[in-house]
Amino acid sequence: MKIEASSPEEYLSQLPPDRKEAMTKLRKEMISNLPAGFQERMSYGMIGYVVPHSIFPKGYHCDPKLPLPFVNIANQKNFVAVYHMGIYADSKLLEWFRKEYPKHTDAKLDMGKSCIRFTKPEKIPFKLFGELMSKMSVKDWINVYESNFEDTPENRAKRTALRGESVAKNAAKKAVKKTAVKKPVKKNAPKKAVKKSLKKK
């Protein structure tokens, strides 16, 4: 759900009441716990928290003209979403988040690689996201980003290795499916045979 807005305030002003309330609380927690150096701005049509070019001149590898993204919060058609690149790139942070999540809400964790979705805004664990935001400094994020995403020979080798593992896993799954023994399906006796047996009786 794309919202045309030039500022976070303008973005929030266009939301329906229930979503506006949730997004406002979420934004408040983000800002209250935002480590020094990160900057709030509109990013990819969402409210974003980025590392500005003044700190990381190289910018985002997908488009160096853009500052390095870290977290985005957004109102989508069917849910409120938090996009956190830190938990996508840092396995320890992800593990911490998964363990803490059930302590803050009874909503089932609906999560992709970096996206956490909430169809019921009132179930958002606002305080947990504030704590999550405080867990990684700008320096930490730049180090994690450079070791995982930057286009370097080392990272290209990592991605090639991961693609190779993925291809191998898929091939193995297909091989298992092909070799799986199918149980014979018992067919009912033909209707004619049934009729004959009834006549004999």
Q: Which residues contact 55 (CB under 8 A, 6 or more apart)?
A: 37, 138, 142
183 has pLDDT over 60: no
- If you write DSSP's letter for every residue of 178-197 in order, what string do you get? HHPPPPPPPPPPPHHHHHHH
Q: Are 37 and 136 in contact (CB under 8 A)?
A: no
Q: pLDDT category, 3, cuts 50, 70, 90?
A: confident
The tens digit of pLDDT for each residue in 113-170 reads 899 999 999 999 999 999 999 999 999 999 999 998 876 565 555 545 545 554 555 6
Residue 78 tokens read as 């069917």
**Domains along the sequence of the chain with CATH:** 8-148 (3.90.1150.200)
The tens digit of pLDDT for each residue in 31-53 reads 999 999 999 999 999 999 999 99
Tell me the backbone φ, ψ of residue 189, rounded to 5 degrees.
-60, 140
Q: What is the pTM of this model?
A: 0.74
> Alpha-carbon distance 172 to 169, whole Å?
5
